[in-house]
Amino acid sequence: MATETRPTTAPPARGGSREKSLRSQKRTASTAIMVFLVVSSLIMATPFLWMALSSIRDPTELAKVPMPLLPQDLRLENYTDALTRAPFAIYARNSLILATAAALLNVAFGSACGYALAKLRFRLAPAIFGWMVACIMIPFYATVIPVFLMVRHMPLFGGNSLLGAGGTGWIDTWWALIVPGAISPFMVFLFRQFYVSTPSELIEAARLDGVSEFGIYTRIITPLIKPGLLTVALLSFEAGWNNFLWPLLVTTSDNLRVIQVGISSFRQEASTEWHLLMAGTTMAAVPMIVLFLIFQRYFVQGFAASGIK
Amino acid sequence: MTTATARTETPADEGPTRRRPTSRRRSVRTAERRWGLLLAAPATLHTLLWIGAPILVAIILSFTAYDIIHPAQFIGLQNYATIFTDELFWRSVLHNVIIAAIGIPISMFLALVFAVLLNRSVPGQGIFRVMVFLPHITATVAVAMIWLWIYNPSQNGLMNIVLGTLGIGPLPFLTDPDLALGAVILVTIWQGIGLKMLIYLAALQGLDGQLYEAADLDGANFVQKFFRITVPMLRPATFFILITSLIANFQTFDLIYILTEGGPANSTSVVTYRIYQTAFQEFRVGLANAQSVILLLILIVFAFLSRRIVGGTDGD
């Protein structure tokens, strides 16, 4: 933007022709930029276009050499075929439940902790904040094996004894899918950042009016950070929907499989049927794309807030 | 708090508060303390249980031989000694380093170009941003599945169609040990541009427009402005992106799992994939935990670097 701002009081008379040549130079420059942007962003989008095109092609067409670049006729049955070959509807439902649970739990508990760390003074606050920041740095991949073992040896679940032996614990249950990742320290951190910028005077005023501490948090301050709530909800939902390794490890039955695991195992079962595979992949990819397009502004804001300012 | 006490004393109608401000303040402080702990407790306990405890368990198990079925046996530093001579583990680390060394600079450069161009008011700005950003928000599993199809070794893989028009190929991208890592790197570049662009965009919007105006008056051209003003001013963002990309790179898993399963001939194995194999295919859980601890140490180094940078700009 700044680069386009030109001095409004352009030098008149003297540079009449110079001005004109500058302007035409600028026009060719912006045309070149436009061309570059169109071509390069098309290249960026090509894999998605290829996925969408392949998902509606006839399998015989996919085998033809050379294959026509555009599908000869639409074959939407690929989608219904994929749905009957693998229970994608169940996978999608499971992903939806998982992602929604992640979003709700992160918003509820993340905001509570974020608010306390930002606005309330209690002795443990600095230590808890430090702990959360340390947790952000610990990658899930470094703890995945112990978390798996903890889930498997969860006492008194899945036929386990009080000492967590003998059965399968939380393996292949909703507990395993939802509980270990229910609260992300990064979301707590994000919430704290959102709450820090709200006015503390409001809290003081509400206290004087006799509003309870919990009421101040839920009814007075939290409504001020609605964009923040939406950001965290979206980021958590995205993480839940896109999660792969953890659901892969803890689920075995189709009833609990999520969509990312579903398409990856579908690939092994139907490795040559690219038309079905691409239909399944489209079903796994499109919900996040649609959600992103709707809430684009907040995604961008959330990412900006999570990084640098 | 001082402003608060001042306020409590001013309104005339608040009789009891006015008469005994200190006790009232004390009860507010107690409530604050109590609610602070109460609201912070669930998240704190959850992270202690699901992040803190697993870290401890990982460290303890890294000193044991454990196969899930039999009880763990303490074996001291033997796992670490094994890793020291485990060629495949270090090859996997090396692959992470190669992917980072080639992929990150290219991806960062392209992201910067996109960010600078899309920071100007061009028509269709929003659409362009979305197109560049989409690979980032799409699940890596889906992304990998799409590229699996693009790299399809028959002449009908998109990549081979494109190469075919240039008179090359068809090439077996994912099954040739010499090509597979390159094929993986290309996907990481494509997938990584979006987020980097976004961070650059955010940083660009915080830049001071006056510098550009001054440069305009001095007759600086686009290229000069780019290298003399934009690039130096974006140095904090660049460093931030670099560190976070390095951290993310060492956590690559989904892509490898779908695209190559570490093959062919282990030519694309990465650290997380190696850990996964050790733990869940070879069932050498103790050894896998030692590998995790080493991964953690690698990441802590990067995290501390990034913490120092982000910490500096952390706007409280």
**What is the per-residue pLDDT across B196-242, written as a single tens digit (0 to 9) for each?**
998 898 888 878 788 888 888 888 887 888 888 888 889 888 988 99
Can you give the pLDDT at residue A5? Answer: 44
Q: Name the most confidently modeled range: A174-178, B71-75, B168-172.
A: A174-178
Q: How many Cβ contacts (< 8 angstroms) between chains A and B?
A: 321
Band of pLDDT at residue A4, cut at 50, 70 and 90: very low
pLDDT tens digits for B32-65? 899 999 999 999 999 999 999 999 999 999 999 9
State whether A113 and B39 contact (CB < 8 Å): yes
Q: Which of B50, B253, B300 is the closest to A180 by Cβ? A: B50
**Per-residue pLDDT band at A9 (split at 50, 70, 90):** very low
Gyration radius of chain B over CA positions = 27
Tell me: the pLDDT tens digits for A242-282? 999 999 999 999 899 999 999 998 888 766 788 999 999 99
> A236 falls in which pLDDT band (50, 70, 90)?
very high
pLDDT tens figures, A274-286? 899 999 999 999 9
Q: A269 to chain B nearest CA, in Å?
A: 14
What pLDDT sits at residue B310?
A: 57
| Smallest Cα distance from B39 to chain A, Å | 5
Q: pTM here?
A: 0.86
What is the nearest CA distance from A14 to chain B, expressed in angstroms?
A: 16
Mean of per-residue pLDDT scores for chain A: 87
- Please tell me if residue A34 touches chain B, with a CB cutoff of 8 Å: yes
Q: What is the mean pLDDT of residues A54-67?
A: 85
Q: Does A290 touch chain B (CB under 8 A)?
A: no
ipTM of the complex: 0.86
Q: Which of B46, B143, B313 sits opposite A308 (nearest CB)?
A: B313
What pLDDT was estimated at residue B219?
A: 86
- Mean pLDDT, residues B116-120: 89
Q: Is A241 an 8 Å CB contact of chain B? A: yes
For A250, name the nearest residue in chain B, comparing CA atoms only: B280
Which residues does chain B have within 8 Å of residue A242's beta carbon, measured at their own beta carbons?
A: 138-141
**Cβ–Cβ gap A150/B143 under 8 Å:** no
pLDDT at A2: 43
Cβ of residue B280 closer than 8 Å to a chain A Cβ:
yes
- Write the residue in A128, A238, A261 that is nearest to B44 by C-beta: A128
B106 touches chain A (CB under 8 A): no
Contact B195 A303 (CB under 8 A): yes
C-alpha–C-alpha distance, residues A115 and A218, integer Å: 10
Is there a contact between B149 and A141 if contact means CB atoms under 8 Å apart?
Answer: no
Report chain A residues whose CB lies below 8 A from the CB of B132: 41, 44
**Residue A302's pLDDT band (boundaries 50, 70, 90)?**
low
* Residue B181 tokens, joined: 């890592």
DSSP symbols for chain B: -HHHHHHHHS-TT-HHHHH-HHHHHHHHHHHHHHHHHHHHHHHHHHHIIIIIHHHHHHHHHTTEE--SSSPPEE-TTHHHHHHHH-HHHHHHHHHHHHHHHHHHHHHHHHHHHHHHHHHS--TTHHHHHHHHHHHHHS-HHHHHHHHHHHT-TTTTSHHHHHHHHTT-----TTTSHHHHHHHHHHHHHHHHHHHHHHHHHHHHHTS-HHHHHHHHHTT--HHHHIIIIIHHHTHHHHHHHHHHHHHHHTT--HHHHHHTTT-STTTT--HHHHHHHHHHTS--HHHHHHHHHHHHHHHHHHHHHHHHHHHHH---
With CA atoms as reference, the chain A residue closest to B151 would be A47
**pLDDT > 90: what percent of chain B?**
57
Q: What is the pLDDT of residue A305?
A: 60
The residue among B19 and A210 whose pLDDT is bigger is A210
